[in-house]
Amino acid sequence: MGLWDALLRDQYVGLAPWVWVQLESNQSPGPFPFVGGVAPEVVASLHEAHSLFLACVETAISDVFSRRATLGDPQTRVRMEDAYAELVNSRQQLSQHITARRQSDGQFLWAHPFDPTKSATVVNTGLRIFNAVKRQAIPVPFERPMGPLVGKLLGMLDGTQQAGAIRTIVTTAGREGERLLTKLMELFVQYECLTPTTQSSVRNQWLQQTKDRDTVHLGHAALLYRQRDHFLLFDPWLLPWFAESNVPSLWVSLLPKPAAIFLTHDHDDHVDPRTLLHVPKDVPIVIPSRRNRKKFYYDYLPLLRELGFSHIIELAHGESWNFDGGAVVSVPFYGEDPCDLEMPRNCYLVTDRGQNVLVHADSGPTNSGRSAIQEGVIQQLVQKYGPLSLVLASQQQLQEIRSYAAHAPLSHPGQWLDVGENGYLTNRYLDELCAIAQARLFVSYATGGADWYPDHLSFMFSQRNPARTALLTAHWEPPEKLKDLLAHHDCRYHRAQALDVFRSVGDGSVQVLSAAEVLTPLPLYRVDHGDPSFMTRGGR
């Protein structure tokens, strides 16, 4: 029996939420995939110099811990710079890209060329299908680059499309495309990855359980804002079932199709290629704009095109993505930048018929004290749009030796022993933010908030590992103290859990409700599909 005989034309065909696909490349993505503004070969040299020098940096750190050196000794920096220059100048492959030398006036010169047209792109040469229930990983090589076509097909397999429409996508993909997509669909059938059903009611469930202008937390930094009968999705980092934990998770097919997706900044927990590969590709995706770049930028365009997106909107600070009754406004994002690369990043304001929600994400004061408060950004938003009744922000307080920050190789080696903020949001800063915003509810988010996230990451906190949380946050200000500060200006504090709903009420305050009972992943899946196959067969 052929593939299209096995799938009835009017059946809704989606991938089971415990099945996902990842694109793969047989070329090394290099040290900083998609970082733009500098040629990849220059980045490779900077990275190699940092790697080769790291043992020296660690010795310098050990000297401080063993109390043989003092913190802040200016000679340490001088010795570091000179040793780095010696290393670079002893290797032609490094010195051809990096200038490092002590000048006659005693100043240390460190430089490398920039090129605004260059970035480190990745082209995929295959994919792998993962089935977490069957514990299978099935590789499928490509004969030529096919990432965008795969992304388009996967976006159709969110459970909202009937077999007839999927067949059309496959059969109109060109000769090689049709061959690959047919093979992919056949593998999905062969390995029991599809969940055909006669109805598709996830969207209706969401419409019934939420109200116009609700903001729903989906876990970590993912938010869903309901705008009339549309849904706007922010920073989706969703997980397939059993990918990182043993609990069913919120995955793409359990959410309503968004009207638009908004990405705040270039961190893996905010730009997750696996999630983005599986979302529908006719959805516009809004990203920070290269017009806001200084030198470096994150080159979203080749990444998103490779995943199959074709409607990509760069929203520069101050610009709006308009909808009926309001807009999503791009707001400057500061900080979370230990090495001061100043890549373009966005916070977002959702201004909707007199209600304002600030998606502040991980933004905060920079190493030099610049922030949305200090530069008057929040004040201007309030002047223009009115009080920002709901503010969602990270509460992390990370400071780290720059040498260990992700982008350290791209920063001045003389500063590698300095400490940089990596999202340092003190109670005082957040209190001031909420006071100026005239917020009525502060929501602490983007540090976990669901059991399906990996629990080993330094920015992820949960009840599951209190000792680890205690170690990581031992020297942080107590988060509950912020609650007392906020109370002075009639603002409530809430720490977000997945499926919390934030809803404005008549007096200008914002209520916190939970949709965890009604939109929790397993019951939501059951509405259209009944018990998952692994439960009925006792398979897992």
Contact assessment for residue 296 and residue 410, using Cβ atoms and an 8 Å cutoff: yes
At 234, which helix (H) or strand (E)? strand 230-234
Write the DSSP string, 397-455: EEEEEGGGSTTGGGS-GGGTTSEEEEEE--HHHHHHHHHHHT-SEEEE-SSB-STTS-S
For Fe ion, which is the closer residue by CB, 152 or 270?
Answer: 270
Q: Output the smallest distance, CB 485 to Fe ion, in A.
A: 24
Contact assessment for residue 232 and residue 240, using Cβ atoms and an 8 Å cutoff: no
Using CB under 5 A, which of the segments 61-69, 226-234, 261-269, 506-514 binds Fe ion?
261-269
Three-class DSSP category at 480: helix
Using CB under 5 A, which of the segments 117-125, 328-336, 408-416, 521-529 binds Fe ion?
328-336
Q: Output the smallest distance, CB 528 to Fe ion, in A.
A: 34
Q: Six-digit token pair at 346?
A: 């966005």
Residue 142 sits at the vertex; the CA angle it makes with 138 and 145, to the nearest 5 degrees, is 135
Using CB under 5 A, which of the segments 248-256, 360-368, 448-456, 495-503 binds Fe ion?
360-368
Q: Output the smallest distance, CB 362 to Fe ion, in A.
A: 4
For Fe ion, which is the closer residue by CB, 214 or 336?
Answer: 336
Q: Six-digit token pair at 300?
A: 């979203």
Three-class DSSP category at 54: helix
Which residues in 248-341 belong to E strands, given as ranges? 260-262, 285-288, 297-298, 312-315, 320-323, 326-332
CA dihedral 391, 392, 395, 398 (to 10 degrees): -110
**Interface size with Fe ion, residues (CB under 5 A):** 3
For Fe ion, which is the closer residue by CB, 336 or 500?
Answer: 336
For Fe ion, which is the closer residue by CB, 147 or 365?
Answer: 365
Our finding on whether 235 is near Fe ion (CB under 5 A) is no
For Fe ion, which is the closer residue by CB, 158 or 362?
Answer: 362
Our finding on whether 267 is near Fe ion (CB under 5 A) is yes
Q: Output the smallest distance, CB 226 to Fe ion, in A.
A: 25
Q: Output the smallest distance, CB 269 to Fe ion, in A.
A: 6
Q: Six-digit token pair at 333?
A: 């994002």
For Fe ion, which is the closer residue by CB, 156 or 271?
Answer: 271
For Fe ion, which is the closer residue by CB, 133 or 343?
Answer: 343
Residues 69-128 touching Fe ion, rule: CB under 5 A, are: none
Q: Output the smallest distance, CB 364 to Fe ion, in A.
A: 10
Residue type, 124: N
For Fe ion, which is the closer residue by CB, 166 or 433?
Answer: 433
For Fe ion, which is the closer residue by CB, 34 or 108?
Answer: 34
For Fe ion, which is the closer residue by CB, 336 or 528?
Answer: 336
CA distance 280 to 108: 51
Which residues in 469-524 belong to E strands, given as ranges? 492-495, 500-504, 510-514
Q: Which of 299, 340, 352, 362 binds Fe ion (CB under 5 A)?
A: 362
* Strand partners for 442: 391, 493
Q: Output the smallest distance, CB 358 to Fe ion, in A.
A: 16
Q: Six-digit token pair at 507?
A: 């007096």
Q: Output the smallest distance, CB 119 to Fe ion, in A.
A: 20
At 43, which helix (H) or strand (E)? helix 40-65
What's the full length of the chain, in residues? 540
* CB atoms near residue 422 (< 10 Å): 24
Our finding on whether 345 is near Fe ion (CB under 5 A) is no
Q: Output the smallest distance, CB 406 to Fe ion, in A.
A: 10
Contact assessment for residue 238 and residue 275, using Cβ atoms and an 8 Å cutoff: yes
Q: Output the smallest distance, CB 237 to Fe ion, in A.
A: 11
Using CB under 5 A, which of the segments 23-31, 151-159, 354-362, 506-514 binds Fe ion?
354-362
Q: What residues make contact with Fe ion under the rule CB under 5 A?
A: 267, 336, 362
